[in-house]
């Protein structure tokens, strides 16, 4: 799966969003957040921006990422409005390197998705309380690293202290807030795109990686999603 930026989330101008339908079990709908919906066609439109080779290798992960981004981004904007926080206007220019790495249009829907996403979540970061990862949290992240073949199963003691990074603390502080908001803002997601996840950067040694922390209720599996699959 192509690299992702800090806690990637959200979609607004990147996709055409329509009103909430009377019934939430429509097979053509990928996700609902309150009165807003994301369709399967919206997901495919963004995914189609990736090169054919990337889509052949990781289409499922791309789709899942787009849906998670939509949901988390909508939640972020809802939370910002609720707390009287203004989300700054989007600027896609800082995402030029991301576009080049992923070989997608610099002004396309996917890059706008990332730009709007990052800004939305950064805006509500003060609503969460950054917290050090617990032992269970560290094991969760380590499992993702093993699954992504960034480390071997016997290297936990070598990397566990590195997991306590600034970005991880922010992520673990925001995760409970986002989980609670799933019910509050009436989120429904097509099982095809589950589990929802929160993407964060992580570097182990000199190797950059991306970890997707599940937003499913605590204790439900899978706990971690590998975005590189």
Pair of tokens at residue 91: 């600027």
- Nearest C-alpha neighbor of 67 from the set 120, 126, 8: 8
Rounded to whole angstroms, how far apart are CA atoms 46 and 81?
A: 26
CB 128 within 8 Å of CB 110? no
Per-residue pLDDT reduced to its tens digit, 88-128: 998 999 989 889 988 999 999 888 878 888 889 999 999 99
Rounded to whole angstroms, how far apart are CA atoms 227 and 199?
A: 8
Q: What are the φ and ψ backbone dihedral angles of 191, each rounded to 5 degrees?
A: -55, -25
- Nearest C-alpha neighbor of 118 from the set 214, 6, 17, 1: 6
Per-residue pLDDT reduced to its tens digit, 151-199: 899 999 999 999 998 889 999 999 999 999 998 999 999 999 988 888 8
Rounded to whole angstroms, how far apart are CA atoms 138 and 37?
A: 34
pTM of the model: 0.79
Cis peptide before 205 (omega within 30 of 0): no
pLDDT at 226 over 80: no
Domain-wise residue ranges, the chain: 18-132+166-196
For residue 24, name the pLDDT band (cuts at 50, 70, 90).
low
Mean pLDDT of 216-221: 60
């Amino acid at each position: 799966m192509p690299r992702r930026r800090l806690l990637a989330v959200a979609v607004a101008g990147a996709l055409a969003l329509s009103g909430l339908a009377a019934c939430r079990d429509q097979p053509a709908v990928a996700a609902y957040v309150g009165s807003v919906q994301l369709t399967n066609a919206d997901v495919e439109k963004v995914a189609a921006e990736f090169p054919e080779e990337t889509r052949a290798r990781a289409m499922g992960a791309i789709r899942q990422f787009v849906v998670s981004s939509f949901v988390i981004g909508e939640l972020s904007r809802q939370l910002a409005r609720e707390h009287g926080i203004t989300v700054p206007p989007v600027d896609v220019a800082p995402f030029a390197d991301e576009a080049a790495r992923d070989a997608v249009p610099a002004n396309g829907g996917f890059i706008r998705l990332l730009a709007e996403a990052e800004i939305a979540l950064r805006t509500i970061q003060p609503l969460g309380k950054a917290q050090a990862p617990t032992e269970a949290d560290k094991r969760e992240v380590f499992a993702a690293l093993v699954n992504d073949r960034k480390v071997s199963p016997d290297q936990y003691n070598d990397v566990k202290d590195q997991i306590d990074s600034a970005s991880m603390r922010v992520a673990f502080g925001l995760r409970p807030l986002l989980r609670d908001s799933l019910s509050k803002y009436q989120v429904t997601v097509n099982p095809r795109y589950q589990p929802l996840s929160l993407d964060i950067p992580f570097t182990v040694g000199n190797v950059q990686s991306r970890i997707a922390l599940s937003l499913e209720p605590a204790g439900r599996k899978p706990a971690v999603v590998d975005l590189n699959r």
